[in-house]
Chain A
Amino acid sequence: MNFKKQFLDGLLTKNPVLVQMLGMCSALAISTSLFNGLGMGIAVTVITICSNVLISALRKVIPSQVRIAAYITIIAGFVTIIDLLLKAYIPALSESLGVFIPLIVVNCIVLGRAEGFASKHGVLASAVDGLCQGIGYTAALVLICVIRELLGSGTFGGGLLNGGEGIRILPEGIPAMMVVMPVGGFLVMGLVLAASQWFTRRMDKQNKKKEAGK
């Protein structure tokens, strides 16, 4: 197993949000502050790792006809556990993410990794895959969060730093409220997608040039 490739895949070349276009609903809805983005990202990462490991361990036992039902049951179990733990120990995060925690059950990243990777690979590789994809999701989410928070509210680290208010970077009056609204979510998401496409293409070209030069 090539862990370095798995990591690069998760973060960049097969980033769940920016390339595979999975988990867009949550990525658009909660990406309004750094606190939300980090919390959601970590929750999804933990759930993907757990469900990947268990599904990979059971991959020879689960009959293929009912595999989706089995996967969803396992994923729903982990999601509910995380939901309860958050409610009990980090109520502020649970409050701010609201329904999007239970909705991780139907987040395509988790099911996608179960079906596309964990059901075909060993336990360790699946765990690493869950971690890498989770990091990729978190990174994309945090990027979108930071942009939306900065342009929409003019702060950095809302809900996390400076007693929850965030550090003010742009003076009040300059930030456009629209960016925090759903409209802004789509706009920022589109721009981030475009930028990441441009970046990966350029990287591809450079790699090809290098190979041709050899």
Chain B
Amino acid sequence: MKQETMSRYILRIVLVLLCIAVVVAGLLAFVNRITEPVIAAATEARTMAAIREVLPGGYYIVITQYTDDTGLVSAVYKGRNGYALEVTPVGFDNTITMMVGVSRDGEVLGFTVVSHTETSGLGAVAASGNSAGEAFREQFVGAVGSVAVSKDGGEIDAITNATVTSRAVCEGINAALSCVAGMGGAE
């Protein structure tokens, strides 16, 4: 067999890699087309479930006009009984996404953690369904103005060994409260 020339060899390498890349890209585009609507629907369903949990009572509209000094509020929904705000404070590991329900009078109705990457068994208690998690979340119900963990002179008992996460949750709640307070005058 004749020795392959250098230029032909390079051409072969490029063609093989190109073919592989094109086939893989095509396959990904195909899978993406199938899964994209399913993923979007799942995300939407999760958001709606979170809103329903913290703000019972009915129909929600998205509010785009709001003032947010903290930069933590990522979405605001208005319902019959108040507001549901998606806030994203930074926890121990990364951003915690939580949904906070606030009444029209600026009282916390409750909150739920939509997604987080806190340490399992420590910070993750804030999101967990066990008694410790429920007790932690319960403390925020009815809060007005602003909240802080007891270490910072507030009323909230932080999760054991997870002060950073607890502070982040307080920060998120405060952002939601101040955002709603800002909207009160506009109405």
Q: Which residues of A contact B (CB under 8 A)?
A: 32-33, 58, 61-63, 65-66, 69-70, 73-74, 76-77, 80-81, 84-85, 87-89, 91, 95, 98, 152-153, 164-165, 177, 180-181
Contacts and interface: CB of A to CB of B under 8 A. Distances in A.
Interface of A (DSSP majority class): helix
B121 A177 contact: yes
Given A77-B28, A87-B35, A89-B38, A177 B16 contact: no
A120 B180 CA distance: 65
Interface of B (DSSP majority class): helix
Contact of B20 (A74, A80, A152, A153): A74
7 contacts: A32-B120, A63-B16, A66-B13, A66-B16, A77-B25, A77-B28, A88-B39
A61 B21 CA distance: 14
A69 B17 contact: yes
Q: Sort chain B's interface into a size bin.
A: 20 to 34
Contacts of A63: 9, 12-13, 16
Given A63-B16, A177-B161, A98 B117 contact: yes
B121 A153 contact: yes
Contacts of B12: 63
A67 to B, nearest CB: 10
Q: Which of A32, A70, A153, A181 has the most CB of B within 10 A?
A: A70
Interface in B1-54: 9, 12-13, 16-17, 20-21, 24-25, 27-28, 31-32, 34-35, 38-39, 42, 46
